Structure 1
Amino acid sequence: MVYSFLAFLLFFGLIGLSSVLKSKGTKKDYYIASSSVRPSLVGLSAVSTNNSGYMFIGMIGYTFVNGLSSLWVMIGWIGGDFLSSLYIHRKLRNTVSTTGEVSFAGTLSNWWGDKNRLLQKTIGLITLVFLLAYAGAQLVAGSKALEVLFGWPLWAGAVMGAGLVLAYCIAGGIRASIWTDAAQSIVMIVAMTMLLFVALRDAGGVSGAIHHLGEVEGFLSLFPDDLIIPGLAGGFLFAVSWAFAGLSVIGQPHIMIRFMALNTNEHMRSAKWWYYVWFTFFYLAAIGVGMLSRIYFTEGAFDEELALPMMAQELLHPGLAGVILAGVFAATMSTADSVILSCSSAFTHDVLGSKIRSTAGIKIATGCITLGALGWALVNQQSVFNLVIMAWSGLASAFAPLLIVLTLGMKPPQHVSILAVITGFITALLWRYFSLHLFVYEGMPGILVGLGIFLAYRIHRGRSLKEMTA
């Protein structure tokens, strides 16, 4: 098991390191691969980054507890993601071409050609802080799996993952990240599908699994039992709130930067085809594994986020269990490397105002960011699901409203944009602090409040113009 796992890690590392052969040694190449990436690689990289340790560790644990009702999370998430992509991704890629920016914050801040430095620094700081926590959560996810399968201490997986990610990020920047993501996405889907097939077979097929799961009270219920409004109406509200989690993808710098790196906008549809087909199939497989894990383990007897590696250990040959662990690590690394690079660009390009221009300085900054994420992971062993959702919703509430109004042609002044970014961000944090996220995903009120500020500005501006012309 150890050997198969290490073999896959070596494979990923070599792919990432080989990207140095294509490196042009410029900041633009390091952060967005000179906008030259093929659509298949963009799609596979984006979905691999999106699905991360959250899917292998967090979503499996969530499904283990909540059962069939977790389908609403998938339906809302993918649905909201798809609807937002119909218009925004293409506009974002076009703006990258016109502005020449290399970061997500820089593109939003200079959308109309203005140099809104304070806005860019604000977005950069929020990106840096929250994505650092996000990167730490991915390293935690990997270390949890290693603890179960190998008995290694929690710090071992975090150190190993951080070291490998740092090596190929320094070698090839985002190109290394995208290349390894594509390879990792294949391992991820193979690992999840293999475990689903074996678990279903051992449970007596579909009919046997339904029989066993039906014995768990409420596990096959279509709606969660703790909805703020019972029944279909509450289920609809629950799904809509998670659709905002899908829409939140447009507020994630580490994912959107992949579409910014696409070689041409004419290939956007192809990139999205790769993305959504893979995403849907993998999400369904993850929910299936999460539900089947309830047949083998009892709630409360262990950390539910360890269900997948424990199933692999119980049901598979050690060599195949190593493939599962490689899949978990692939998921965590595919997001950790993306997040670390986004933090690096936020620090060197947005917060410092491009004061670090040499690739050597940028790589040193990337190393410091990696050490920061590792330190965070070593002192915070919290729920991966909760950590990822908190970071995800905070970033979305801050950035999604601004990106939406920009793509709709609105030109808000810098102070209004900053107000919307900060207010949406704080709304999401307060929503979670007061535990309201137990009923409605916190990104929903955060995004709506941010959009409300832009709407209020537009109404006020319209009235002012009418008074001036009256």
Structure 2
Amino acid sequence: MTIAIFSFIVVMILMTSAGAMAIVHKRKTPEDYLLASRGVSPWLTALSTVGTNNSGFMFIGMIAYTYRIGIESIWMMVGWLVGDLLAWLTIHARVRSATHDLDVNTLPGLIGTRKNSIDRWIVVAGGVLTFLFLAVYAAGQFKAGGTALTALFGWEMHVGVLIGAAIVLLYSYAGGIRADIWTDAAQSFVMLLAMVSILVAAYMKLGGVGDLFDNLRNQDPSLVRIFPDQLTFGIGPFVAGFFFAGFAVIGQPHLMTRLMAIESTRAIKRARLYYFLWFVPFFIASVGVGLYCRAILPDIGQLDVARGLEEPTELALPLITMALLPQVFVGIALAGLFAATISTADSQIIVCSGAITQDIQPQWRQSYLASKLGTFSITGLALLIALLEPEGVFFLVLIAWSVLGAALGSVLVVRVLDLPLPTSVGIAMMGVATITVVAWQFAGLDDDIFKAMPGFLAAAAVYGVYYLLSGRKEPGAVGD
């Protein structure tokens, strides 16, 4: 293990240095801290978005999900990719254009700003949702990073979480969102390389798809079942739910920030091409790795390292890496995982800081110091959630993703389509979407339809009732 630990430390130093070097280009302004002065190139935007979108969720959560349910997980992949593509085709360019024209730096600022006025209540409501649920999301990333260190060093989970929080503060104070973007782009290469290396090693150990499926079938025939059985609402709504999961990207402030930071609206098209050229193979690889993990390590929950963990299957990637790859590559792969999760947490915490200084307390809008202090305080909140919340990475990430996607995303669609949006309707949409997502989760219906879908539909129903009853339009929406 000495070689693995050494390579882990070396890669972590290089990754952290890549982010810290952003200090050379930083300007002490809130716009530079939050949006890198809106000058990010298309390829950096694409790779950074892939990296921050697919760190803890894909490396830990998606692989663990596939490990548990088998090839049924492909429906999440297919639906997610289609929904994400629709968002790129219909929403992203409008967001970049509108945030530039209206001079806003945050997603809540966009949904509450019109050409000639600002709807403070909608901005504040969006800022509060961002603050609360991105802190939960960041806590999930801390847990994902801690999982990597638990597997490699045998440390308690809280040790990795604390180390991650310390590195987040270093990234943030070095260069804000620019440090994240640079680090994410570098991590994208390491992440894909790690996935491909594991698949090649697993193929050499176990064999091809036929051998893999035979192994899984012998364990449990349901692992090779394409369609889940006993769905309350049927297969159509089941797949549609994952489409809404992918489209929910429009409500993720830490991802939309990257689109706001791109150098121009015209660059969105090139960024979209680079994004899917990287994202699609990565998603496919995550499903493959999850299946091979189940075949090669079928009893993860019985291992000593998994004792006491709420969701032991989330150790699947670190453990399969250690079982199959040479020690030097183990360190590289786990360093890529740890750095990716921490960089994602950092970008989420920076966005939370923007929610405080730009949205909730706009009198601090031009204060660079307030942005930094906000980052410090939110890191502390995310750290507490990660240390005290027993749930696994997948649960934390998907509940936050769904609430933000349905609540902020539904209002964003209304704004960019230039439709009227009274304050009461906008707040009602966000509130109903949030309540619906949480209620759906705790009603135990999430296995039948992904919770983002009922959240979106509930918000759309609120707006539909208003629109039908009002029979009129308000001028001045985003894009006028």
Alignment correspondent of 1:236: 236
1:150, distance to aligned residue in structure 2 (A): 1.1
After TM superposition, the structure 1 = structure 2 runs for residues 58-77 of structure 1, keeping only pairs within 5 Å, are 58-77=61-80
After TM superposition, the structure 1 = structure 2 runs for residues 101-250 of structure 1, keeping only pairs within 5 Å, are 101-216=104-219, 217-229=221-233, 234-250=234-250
Query: Using the alignment, how far apart are the partners of 1:10 and 1:145 within structure 2?
Result: 16
Counting matched residue pairs gives: 461
Q: Is the 8 A contact 1:112 1:411 kept in 2?
A: no
1:205, distance to aligned residue in structure 2 (A): 3.1
- Bigger Cα displacement from structure 2, 236-245 vs 375-384: 375-384
TM-score (norm 1): 0.95
Alignment correspondent of 1:459: 468
Query: Using the alignment, how far apart are the partners of 2:473 and 2:10 within structure 1?
Result: 66
After TM superposition, the structure 1 = structure 2 runs for residues 30-429 of structure 1, keeping only pairs within 5 Å, are 30-216=33-219, 217-229=221-233, 234-299=234-299, 300-301=301-302, 303-355=312-364, 357-429=366-438
**What root-mean-square deviation, in Å, do the aligned CA atoms of Structure 1 and Structure 2 show?**
1.6
1:193, distance to aligned residue in structure 2 (A): 1.1
Query: Using the alignment, how far apart are the partners of 2:34 and 2:120 within structure 1?
Result: 19
1:381, distance to aligned residue in structure 2 (A): 3.6
Query: Using the alignment, how far apart are the partners of 1:185 and 1:143 within structure 2?
Result: 19
Greater than 4 Å deviation, 4+ residue runs: none
Unaligned runs of 5+ in 2: 307-311, 475-480
> 1:54 is aligned with what amino acid?
F
Deviations 1:407-437 (A, max 9, x none): 2220211121111111111111111121121
Query: Using the alignment, how far apart are the partners of 2:421 and 2:128 within structure 1?
Result: 20
Seq. identity, %: 39
Q: Is the 8 A contact 1:32 1:261 kept in 2?
A: yes
- Bigger Cα displacement from structure 2, 50-59 vs 212-221: 212-221
Query: Using the alignment, how far apart are the partners of 1:7 and 1:251 within structure 2?
Result: 36
1:210, distance to aligned residue in structure 2 (A): 2.8
Query: Using the alignment, how far apart are the partners of 2:473 and 2:355 within structure 1?
Result: 36
Q: Secondary structure at the match of 1:54?
A: helix
> 1:227 is aligned with what amino acid?
L
- Bigger Cα displacement from structure 2, 345-354 vs 284-293: 345-354
1:199, distance to aligned residue in structure 2 (A): 1.0
> 2:223 is aligned with what amino acid?
F
Q: Is the 8 A contact 1:119 1:414 kept in 2?
A: yes
TM-score (norm 2): 0.93
> 1:218 is aligned with what amino acid?
S
Q: Is the 8 A contact 1:58 1:305 kept in 2?
A: yes
> 1:397 is aligned with what amino acid?
A
Q: Is the 8 A contact 1:39 1:262 kept in 2?
A: yes
Deviations 1:100-155 (A, max 9, x none): 01111111110443211111111000110010011011000111121122101111
1:438, distance to aligned residue in structure 2 (A): 2.1
Query: Using the alignment, how far apart are the partners of 1:352 and 1:175 within structure 2?
Result: 23
Q: Secondary structure at the match of 1:320?
A: helix
Q: Is the 8 A contact 1:144 1:154 kept in 2?
A: yes
Query: Using the alignment, how far apart are the partners of 1:50 and 1:354 within structure 2?
Result: 31
> 1:5 is aligned with what amino acid?
F
Compared CA separation, residues 2 and 351, structure 1 to 2 (3 A): same
